[in-house]
Chains A and B, each alone.
Chain A
Amino acid sequence: MDTQLDLWEVFVQSKPGQPYKHAGSVHASDKLMALQNARDVYTRRGEASGLWVVRAADIVASNLADHDMFFDPANDKIYRHPTFYQVPEGAKNI
């Protein structure tokens, strides 16, 4: 049983403009403490330009038991995958 305060998930942005990526979690009793702890645990060596912390309980997550229902149907319908298009030579940003 986890008795060390509430659990918060930490997202770190490595450079301005980059997406925030999940780095791990910290324990904290409030927002400020969560942000400070995330700073101390995950960004001590200059890894970050931004930080998000989100209370783990506030994250709506998919359930492993729903895996088949959620993700399987996409796999057997190859027409859903954009693999039949010829990419014109020299085309960028596709």
Chain B
Amino acid sequence: MTKTDALFHYCLRLGDDAVILGHRLAELCSRGPFLEEDLALTNIALDYTGRAELFFQYAAELEGKGHSADDLVYRRPERRYYNHLLCERPNVDFGHTIVRQFLFSVYDRYLLEELGAAKDTRLAEIAVKALKETRYHLSHAADWMVRLGRGTEESHRRVQQALNDLWTYTGELFEMDDVDLLLLEHGIAADLHTLRALWQAEVKQTLDRAGLQRPADGYMQTGSRKGIHSEHLGHLLAEMQYLVRTYPQAAW
């Protein structure tokens, strides 16, 4: 594997996390709990769409096979998607939506901080731009964790349930493979082992503030680094890719 191959995969993963989580949030358009929160969630969805485009454009150039960013999003099968399993989890209820957003945004914030100093100008520029948005995503999600955790009996029960349900998908966020290790040597990738400690400390801090129990680290789900996903991604892609698959010549 060359450095360019590795960087292509790295950008693809970053783009996949953004496009899949963005799609999940976009599913809530017109279905938010109230108008203002509906706009907040779809705003965040649009932030992800924007950065996904930047990651995929760069990935497409690195790949050098004449693919466009759209090709990578709309014509790639499930087994060649590398988003974390956490990002494809369904919305379920507002508690799950917020917990997913919170757990991911803490990770994303430290990741983008690291990548902002990457020895690859293009990647670093995207990271710096995305970090501003992610700081907002995180403060939005963390505030809701506290509100729900310290809200009513039902909101507390639901947000704790969501936390228990999603915890098993958090181990995967810190897995490193050949792609990470090769780029790490070049000062490009983030060291996820260092990141893990920062993530755990910040998550714990917010959970304490919200009066929520941190679940125990039991069995952790894995697979996305190899393109192995839960049953949910196929359904998501079927909807997202429907138009292009049905009308391959469609232009917009």
Q: Answer yes or no: do A and B interact.
A: yes
> Which residues of B have CB within 8 Å of A26?
36
- In this complex, how many residues of chain A approach chain B with their Cβ under 8 Å: the count is 14
> Which residues of B have CB within 8 Å of A27?
34-36
> Which residues of B have CB within 8 Å of A32?
143
Residues of chain B touching chain A, judged by Cβ–Cβ distance below 8 Å, are 34-37, 39-40, 43, 139-140, 143, 147
| Interface residue ranges of A32-68 to B (CB < 8 Å) | 32-33, 36-37, 40-41, 44
B37 (CB) vs chain A CBs: closest residue:
A37
| Interchain residue pairs with CB less than 8 A apart (6) | A4-B35, A27-B35, A32-B143, A36-B140, A36-B143, A44-B43
Bound complex: CA A33 to CA B35 (Å): 13
Question: Across the interface, do A37 and B147 meet the contact criterion of CB distance under 8 Å?
Answer: no
Bound complex: CA A37 to CA B34 (Å): 11
Question: Across the interface, do A40 and B147 meet the contact criterion of CB distance under 8 Å?
Answer: no
Question: Across the interface, do B147 and A29 meet the contact criterion of CB distance under 8 Å?
Answer: yes
Interface-central residue, A27, A33, A40, A41, by most chain B CB under 10 Å: A40
Given contacts A40-B43, A44-B43, contact A30 B36 (CB under 8 A): no
Which 4 pairs, one residue from A and one from B, show the smallest C-beta to C-beta distance? A37-B36, A40-B40, A40-B39, A4-B34
B39 (CB) vs chain A CBs: closest residue:
A40
Bound complex: CA A53 to CA B43 (Å): 20
Bound complex: CA A52 to CA B39 (Å): 19
Kindly state whether residue A5 has any CB partner on chain B within 8 Å.
yes
Given contacts A40-B40, A44-B43, contact A33 B34 (CB under 8 A): no
Bound complex: CA A27 to CA B36 (Å): 7
Question: Across the interface, do B36 and A40 meet the contact criterion of CB distance under 8 Å?
Answer: yes
Bound complex: CA A29 to CA B147 (Å): 9
Question: Across the interface, do A33 and B39 meet the contact criterion of CB distance under 8 Å?
Answer: no
B34 (CB) vs chain A CBs: closest residue:
A4
Bound complex: CA A37 to CA B143 (Å): 12
Given contacts A40-B43, A44-B43, contact A28 B36 (CB under 8 A): yes
Bound complex: CA A26 to CA B40 (Å): 12
Bound complex: CA A44 to CA B40 (Å): 10
Shortest Cβ gap from A78 to chain B (Å):
47
Shortest Cβ gap from B137 to chain A (Å):
11
Bound complex: CA A37 to CA B147 (Å): 15
Question: Across the interface, do A36 and B40 meet the contact criterion of CB distance under 8 Å?
Answer: yes
